[in-house]
Chains A and B, each alone.
Chain A
Amino acid sequence: MAELGDTMKARTLWGVIPLLAPVQLLLLSVIIIPSIYVIWLSFHVSSFGQSATFVGWDNYIRVITDPAFHSALINTVIIVVVAVHLELLVALGVALLFNSGLKFRRLLLVAVLAPYAVSEVIAVAMWRFLFDMDVGPVTQALQALGLPILEWGYDPMHAMIMIALLTIWMHLPFTFIILYAARLALPSDLYEAARIDGATAWQSFRRITIPLMGPAILVALLFRYIFAFRLFSEVWLMTQGGPARSTEVVAVYLYQEAFSYNAFGTAAATAWIMVIVSLLLASGYIYLLRRQVNANAK
């Protein structure tokens, strides 16, 4: 047996290169090398058909001082902070609801998962009609209840609310599944013991559920931060960033710089700002994950 192990080790990397090659080639040629090229691009000024000139940090300074970038960044942060946390609360509520023993649980689970199958494009079409300011059924329902309607066609704030609702609708299945799986994994004898000790439902929630689900909540949050930060299609299809660039998010700003204004240098700088923010968010994730692994080892 030892011999087999040794020969396997000796031949290891050479022999398995053909098995690893497809993944590594795809990642290198489509993601890694292009991303590194974007760094180079971000320090140059160029547009189609012109040779590039080195400009140092100019592009970054230009992006960071651009009022349009500020408004895009603020919109992105609003979506990340408001929509993601709201989504987390709802997902947690639904996960606990599912765990409390429901009839037709599998069927209901499939119902909650359904939006996962829907394309952003179709979702935007739905939302635009449901909230149509003249005939949309949601608008009518809001009016019937005497509530204010969403004037998303011209009020940027209302358009942002629409986009936030839409992203929550699209991503709730993901967050819900992560939290529900984590809740299912908690041992039921803990709750049994707490009940025998006379703990109320609220106490077991505060003292058992929340601390033990902490890691899963963090994982769900960080994934959603990272994905909300690259939000593009929903905004582009809903408002194209308008009216007057007021609903742009960072990815839409990047797209406009590159493909509408041909400013590939500032677009590249924006791209790397996005990568760096994602890396920062992820390093928080890895740090927390390490701590979790250490805690489990103890």
Chain B
Amino acid sequence: MRNKRLLNLLKTIAVLAIVVWSLFPIFFIVVSSFKAGHDIFAVPTKWFFEPTVQHYQKLVSAWPVFFSSLWNSTVITAGATALAVIASTTAGYVYSRYNSRLLNASIVYLIGVRLIPPIVVTLPLFPIVNWLGINDTHFVLIVLYATFFVSLGTVLMRTFIDQIPRELDEAAAIDGASRMTILRKVIVPLATPGIIAVAVFVIVFAWNEFLFAFIFTSTNAKTAPLVVSEMIGSIDGVDWGVLFAASTVQLLPVLLFVVFMNRYLVAGLTAGATKG
């Protein structure tokens, strides 16, 4: 009996530790964004303080570029998600329903492509993108973000579409439905959980990505993480209050999104790791 109590106590401590580890940094940055300047730097750390929105006001007045970067991030995330979802769904459908040696062989290549580190392709793409004059546009990041998820996306969609009985598309085909109609009216509605799982991956990735944004954008298409990184690297010292406020604004939407979509994220992660 005492043993069991002790075990339960240890378990509670372990649960607390993992929750603090996961949530404390997020909690701290959000809470600190409402602290006045001198409260942020108080030693020992202040846990009770007069909340203020002064950093948010300063963010609005001194960093208009942050808000245009949020807009860029939104456009790029939406574009990359649409492109990746459409491309992965149509390809996943073919991989699920059609059989040929070429197709089976190309699955290996779909998986193999994921092994190439993203930084590798920046070397040739940087001069090419400059030469084409599409440097610093939404288009470049949309294409890059979508591309780095279509291989995983296709494999995921194949797994999800495999679970839809073939008899359904065959019945529709006998009724005279074309391939596109089958895809739109039969496959897409039934494969929605898969589509959402792919979309969750791309949305989180595109909203947060740093490397490609850092290399391929400079002013017009700058994304929010890039502007936040400039706040961190500011030469005349970091304005922590504004940095916390900007981080909170960038973080909260995607955090809430992950919280609400956690089921799809878990399904995608497990299917992606075991099947792809």
Q: Do A and B bind each other?
A: yes
A contact residues vs B (CB 8 Å cutoff): 1, 4, 8-9, 12-13, 15-16, 18-20, 22-24, 26-27, 30-32, 34-35, 37-38, 41, 48, 93-94, 97, 100, 102, 106, 108-130, 134-135, 137, 140, 169, 172-174, 177-178, 181, 216, 219-220, 223, 226, 229-230, 232-233, 236-237, 251, 254-255, 258-259, 264, 267-268, 271-272, 274-275, 278-279, 282
A220 to B15, CA, bound (A): 22
Q: Mark B240-260, 1 if CB is under 8 A from A, else 0.
A: 100110010011001101110
Instruction: Tell me, in angstroms, the Cα distance from A26 to B143 when the chains sit together.
Output: 8
The A/B interface has a contact count, at CB < 8 Å, of: 261
Chain B 95-139 against A: per-residue CB contact (8 Å), 1 yes, 0 no? 000111011001000101101111111111111100000000000
Asked whether A251 and B22 contact (CB < 8 A) given A114-B258, A122-B29, the answer is: no
Cβ-defined contact, A113 with B247, below 8 A: no
A176 to B165, CA, bound (A): 32
Residues of A within 8 A of B214 (CB): 233, 236
Cβ of B177 within 8 Å of any chain A Cβ, yes or no, is no
Q: Decide: A23 and B269 in contact? CB cutoff 8 A.
A: no
A137-B45 contact, Cβ under 8 Å, with A226-B115, A278-B117: yes
Known: A119-B210, A282-B115. A129 touches B225 (CB 8 A): no
Q: How far is the CA of A12 from the CA of B95 in the complex (A)?
A: 11
Q: Which of A178, A259, A272 makes the CB contact (< 8 A) with B273?
A: A178
Q: Do the beta carbons of A177 and B43 come within 8 Å of each other?
A: no
Question: With A and B bound together, what is the CA distance between A106 and B143 in angstroms?
Answer: 35
Is A19 in contact with B210, judged by CB distance below 8 angstroms? no
Given the complex of chains A and B, what is the CA–CA distance between A56 and B140 in angstroms? 33
Question: Which listed residue, B150, B233, B258, touches A116 by the CB 8 Å rule?
Answer: B258
Residues B269 and A177 in contact, CB atoms below 8 Å apart:
yes
A289 to chain B, nearest CB (A): 9
A119 lies within 8 A of B43 (CB): no
B49 at the A interface (CB under 8 A): no
B250: chain A residues within 8 A (beta carbon): 119, 122
9 smallest beta-carbon distances between A and B, as pairs: A119-B208, A22-B87, A230-B117, A117-B258, A19-B90, A23-B91, A30-B147, A121-B225, A34-B124
- Residue B77 interfacial (CB < 8 Å): no
- Within the complex, the shortest CB–CB distance from A35 to chain B, in Å, comes to 5
Within 8 A of A (CB), among B17-54: 18-19, 21-23, 25-26, 28-29, 32, 40-45
How far, in angstroms, from A178 to B226 measured CA to CA in the complex? Answer: 30
Chain B residues with Cβ below 8 Å from A135 are 40-43, 45
Q: Quick check: A23 and B87 within 8 Å, CB to CB?
A: yes
Q: Smallest CB-CB separation from B125: which chain A residue? A: A34
Given the known interface contacts A34-B124, A111-B23, A177-B270, the answer about A271 and B119 at a Cβ–Cβ threshold of 8 Å is: yes
Q: Is the interface of A mostly helix, strand, loop or mixed?
A: helix
Query: Would you call B243 and A125 a contact (CB within 8 A)?
Result: yes
| 17 A–B pairs (Cβ distance < 8 Å), ordered by A | A35-B116, A112-B18, A113-B265, A118-B26, A119-B250, A120-B208, A134-B43, A135-B40, A137-B45, A178-B273, A216-B274, A230-B117, A232-B119, A233-B211, A237-B232, A255-B119, A258-B122
Return A165 CB to nearest CB of chain B, in Å. 10
A119→B207 CA distance, assembly (Å): 8
B6: Cβ under 8 A from any A Cβ? no
